[in-house]
């Protein structure tokens, strides 16, 4: 569509405003980001889709209405630009007038462009995120080729959490106006407006109170090691968000309620699946033009879209997480935000574990202000400590405005601002800043400053004080500069904006503290097996008195033997960052923050997508995983070089809670004997829990389907022949008084506990391979502990002997099983 100097000339020319109640076209000011969809029963029913841009509403007529199905591409005919006031129009356009028919306000909200809008309109591809009542998530408008008189586009839903398979999932059924609550028929009849149902989330818990945020110490260089996670330092306003009964409240770092000031984030938190939460993060401008901070100032002033980058979760549904480790809080936050669409107003901040100096270098090269480094095991504390460190790429500080130097240029309210900072409890002069101001900014600053007769500081140089005008020391300026002089005065300063979220009385100079003395709320570090273990004295098994360092030392001790048995196999980690009494979880994928000592392999999953799985190649792999809070290691029955061919057959004998150990032990011998009757030799591993693994090593001659069918048949034959003793069904109800022969470990993607792995249970037991003679004498499956391993390692390993005894599921073995099942 050709650009017209009068964006609304076509709109006005097509309408007789003496006949229609539609608003007369007048271009708006500012650059808001509203969108509206109007259901329009003209000569043909359609939906008018409109995006606010450059003071008008860009408009498309979507013939069948928007579809939530990504495969459904809906024709959207570009029409004339409409005035902003049209976004509130609902009623009936008289017959005979352009577009005659009934108009309903079907949806509205805010939109966020993904890229340059003008370029997208010119190139014919406009991507954006919608936050409305009906339309949400990512969408794209694509212009069709071979245009005639009409400019035809396609409106397409992107694949995200708001996508649905039903083509008419948004438009099916009787719709009511989001403004008046009326149907199309009621609007046409002139029926009065109805109460519109409140669709905002009904949260039942009391919203958490504001707490003082954690603050970071300034250092010269980013810390090294896998005990740190690193995030880009945002250049916006720190914000704590409280959700709960009564709605959402947004607080600055000092506790000011800025819910109204951050109104552009209204509705951003509605989709979170919780009754109450307290989030920590940063408010930024959705579109950055120039510096991030100045863009945010402009966005707040002109009503541009905002985004909230969440980086911490302090409480959720009444549970306080401030004493839990940083990494665990991060995992919970990621889970809470997992259903939020990418590119929307609520986003999860990105982070990297380890590689601090490299991350810092990349951040500076990209023009960022710096990075924040956080100890992964640290709790959250409402003060500044060395658990959080910040390294800056440039010299930036907040300063108090104490006055200004007059300008001799006409229309310029001042030449430079005079700045101060609190030193030793006293406000001291720190220099001037005379660049970084637009004409509008200077006018606003002049209006914001309150004159006073005497200087608020005592140490202003006489040549500066001679012509200075003094102001009340209550405004805070953000200033970028190159360095301090020997006298502590800034050089080459540039004004970035006012910090309305900070109290002038709290502004002090911030100098790097590369060896701060404050307590970290952490334990001591240790070097174990060449791996730095942070918070090594944290109690992981409280009842046994075992620490995180003890766990790492266990895996250092048994590492060689474990790798010989489990190396090169995809594995799942069972992680308990704050110990077995805290939150524990399985992790099988690399989520982007695991140590380099762990290897990765891309595996196609059942849904067709690929994911990076973790595996170990050396003892350092196991110790590095322990540094990340891993206690248990569960392994596949195949190695990474041939994932389609299993080399391990495992029967996990899992007893009902009421069974005695002697019954489990007897079951292991019976399974051994049954396998032996088929011509298969097996070994035993006591799991550190209640059960026993009976297992054998295989040549890689058969696939997963054969292995699963064989093990399933074997388990069902055992349970059929002795139903009073065994079951092959996972159901707890059917397991009562029986041993469940778990054959499900023998399918692709399933795992079993690795030999010599710890178990996340009271007493810190260890899963240990045993000989059949040893098994006959054992009193339990959880009788081995870390302290037993040194003596254990001096003996030959029964599992290594089994692993070297390669066998095959030959046709003869399978025929014997078939005959046994039929007999």
What residue ranges do the domains of the chain occupy?
A: 9-188, 215-392, 398-506, 526-635, 648-822
Architecture of the 648-822 domain: Alpha-Beta Complex (3.90)
CA nearest 208: which of 354, 59, 314, 349?
A: 314
Q: Would you say 640 and 601 are in contact if contact means Cβ atoms under 8 Å apart?
A: yes
Length of the chain counted residue by residue:
823
CA angle 572, 576, 581 (to 5 degrees): 140
> pLDDT value at position 517?
42
The pLDDT assigned to 4 comes to 47
Residue 220 contacts residue 392 (beta carbons within 8 Å): no
Task: Assign 3-state DSSP to the chain and report helix, strand, coil percentages, each to 5.
Answer: 20, 30, 45
CATH topology of domain 398-506: OB fold (Dihydrolipoamide Acetyltransferase, E2P) (2.40.50)
* Strands (DSSP E) found in 321-362: 346-348, 352-353
- Count other Cβ atoms within 10 Å, centred on residue 724: 8
Q: Specify the pLDDT at position 721.
A: 94
pLDDT recorded at residue 338: 86
Centroid of chain to Cα 297: 26
Phi, psi of 153 (to 5 degrees): -125, 170
* Sign, Cα dihedral of 268, 271, 275, 279: negative
Q: At what angle do helices 811-822 and 704-721 cross, to 10 degrees?
A: 30
Domain spanning 526-635: CATH superfamily: DNA primase, PRIM domain (3.90.920.10)
pLDDT at 634: 97
Adjacent-strand bridge partners of 247: 244
Residue 73 known to be catalytic: no
Same fold, 526-635 and 648-822: yes
Global pTM value = 0.60
DSSP classification of residue 586? E
> For the chain, what is the largest distance between any 2 Cα atoms, rounded to a whole number of angstroms?
110
Cβ(215)–Cβ(388) below 8 Å: yes
Answer yes or no: CATH 3.30.470.30 is held by domain 215-392.
yes
- Token representation of residue 271: 């989709």
How remote is the C-alpha of 157 from its chain's centroid? Answer: 22
pLDDT attached to residue 609: 77
Is the distance from CB of 567 to CB of 616 less than 8 angstroms? Answer: yes
Query: What pLDDT does residue 778 have?
Result: 96
Q: Using one digit for the tens of pLDDT, what is the confidence trace for 228-241?
A: 999 999 989 999 99
3-state secondary structure of 79: strand
CB 653 within 8 A of CB 741: yes
**pLDDT score, position 317:** 94
In this prediction, the residues of the chain whose per-residue pLDDT falls under 50 are: 1-4, 516-519
Catalytic residue chosen out of the listed positions 127, 157, 233, 390: 233
């Amino acid at each position: 569509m050709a650009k017209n100097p009068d964006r609304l000339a076509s709109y006005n020319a097509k309408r007789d405003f003496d006949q229609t109640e539609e608003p007369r076209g007048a271009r708006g000011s500012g650059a808001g980001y509203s969108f509206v969809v109007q259901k329009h029963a003209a000569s043909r029913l359609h939906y008018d889709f409109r995006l606010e841009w450059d003071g008008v509403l860009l408009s498309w007529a979507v013939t069948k209405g928007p579809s939530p199905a990504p495969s459904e591409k809906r024709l959207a005919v570009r029409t004339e630009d409409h005035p902003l006031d049209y976004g509130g129009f609902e009623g009936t356009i008289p017959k005979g007038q352009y577009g005659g028919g009934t108009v309903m306000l079907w949806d509205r909200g805010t939109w966020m462009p993904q890229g340059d809008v003008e370029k997208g309109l010119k190139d014919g591809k406009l991507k954006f995120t919608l936050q409305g009542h009906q339309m949400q998530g990512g969408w794209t408008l694509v212009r069709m080729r071979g245009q005639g008189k009409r400019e035809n586009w396609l409106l397409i839903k992107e694949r995200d959490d708001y996508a649905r398979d039903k083509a008419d999932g948004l438009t099916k059924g009787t719709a009511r106006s989001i403004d008046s609550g009326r149907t199309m028929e009621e609007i046409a009849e002139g029926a009065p407006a109805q109460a519109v149902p409140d669709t905002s989330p009904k949260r039942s818990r009391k919203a958490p109170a504001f707490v003082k945020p954690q603050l970071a110490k300034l250092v010269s260089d980013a810390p090294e090691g896998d005990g740190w996670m690193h995030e880009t330092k945002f250049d916006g306003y720190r914000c704590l968000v409280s959700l709960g009964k009564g709605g959402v409240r947004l607080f600055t770092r000092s506790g000011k309620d800025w819910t109204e000031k951050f109104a552009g984030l209204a509705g951003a938190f509605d989709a979170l699946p919780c009754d109450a939460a307290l989030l920590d993060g940063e408010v930024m401008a959705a579109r950055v033009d120039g510096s991030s901070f100045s863009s945010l100032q402009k966005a707040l002033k002109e009503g541009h879209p905002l985004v909230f980058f969440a980086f911490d979760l302090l409480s959720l549904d009444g549970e306080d997480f401030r004493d839990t480790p940083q990494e665990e809080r991060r995992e919970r936050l990621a889970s809470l935000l997992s259903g939020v669409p990418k590119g929307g107003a609520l986003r999860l901040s990105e982070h990297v574990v380890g590689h601090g100096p490299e991350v810092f270098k990349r951040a500076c090269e990209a023009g960022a202000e710096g990075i924040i480094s956080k100890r992964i095991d640290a709790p959250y504390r409402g003060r500044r400590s060395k658990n959080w460190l910040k390294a800056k790429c440039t010299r930036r500080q907040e300063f108090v405005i104490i006055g200004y130097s007059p300008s001799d240029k006409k229309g310029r309210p001042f030449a430079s601002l005079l700045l101060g900072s609190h030193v030793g409890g006293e406000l001291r002069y720190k220099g001037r800043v005379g660049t970084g101001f637009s004409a509008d900014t200077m006018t606003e600053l002049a209006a914001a400053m309150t004159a006073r007769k005497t200087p608020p500081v005592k140490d202003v140089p006489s040549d500066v004080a001679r012509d200075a005008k003094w102001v009340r020391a209550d405004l805070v300026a953000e200033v970028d500069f190159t360095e301090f002089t020997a006298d502590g005065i800034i050089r080459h300063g540039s004004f970035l904006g006012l910090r309305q979220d900070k109290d002038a009385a709290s502004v002090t100079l911030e100098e790097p503290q590369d060896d701060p003395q404050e307590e970290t709320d952490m334990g001591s570090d240790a070097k174990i097996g060449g791996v730095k273990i942070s918070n090594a004295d944290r109690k992981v098994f409280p009842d046994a008195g075992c620490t995180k360092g003890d766990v790492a030392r266990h895996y250092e001790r048994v590492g060689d033997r474990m790798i010989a048995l489990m190396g090169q196999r995809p594995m799942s980690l069972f992680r308990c960052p704050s110990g077995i009494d805290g939150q524990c979880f399985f992790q099988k994928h690399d989520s982007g923050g695991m140590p380099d000592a762990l290897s990765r392999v891309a595996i196609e999953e059942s849904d067709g997508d690929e994911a990076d799985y973790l595996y170990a190649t050396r003892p350092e792999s196991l110790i590095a995983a322990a540094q990340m809070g891993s206690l248990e290691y569960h392994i596949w029955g195949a190695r990474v070089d041939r994932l389609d061919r299993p080399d391990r057959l495992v029967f996990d004998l899992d007893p009902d809670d009421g069974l005695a150990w002697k019954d489990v032990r007897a079951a292991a011998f019976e399974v051994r004997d049954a396998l032996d009757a088929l011509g298969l030799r097996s070994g035993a591993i006591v799991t550190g829990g209640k059960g026993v693994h009976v297992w054998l090593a295989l040549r890689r001659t058969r696939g997963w389907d054969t292995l699963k069918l064989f093990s399933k048949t074997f388990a069902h034959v055992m349970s059929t022949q002795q139903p009073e003793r065994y079951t092959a069904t996972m159901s707890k109800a059917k397991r009562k008084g029986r041993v469940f022969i778990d054959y499900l470990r023998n399918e692709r993607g399933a795992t079993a506990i690795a030999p010599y792995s710890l178990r996340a249970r009271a007493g810190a037991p260890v899963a240990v391979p045993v000989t059949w003679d040893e098994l006959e004498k054992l009193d339990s499956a959880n009788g081995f502990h870390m302290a037993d391993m040194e003596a254990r390692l001096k003996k030959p390993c029964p599992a290594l002997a089994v692993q070297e005894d390669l066998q095959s599921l030959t046709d003869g073995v399978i025929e014997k099983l078939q005959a046994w099942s039929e007999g």
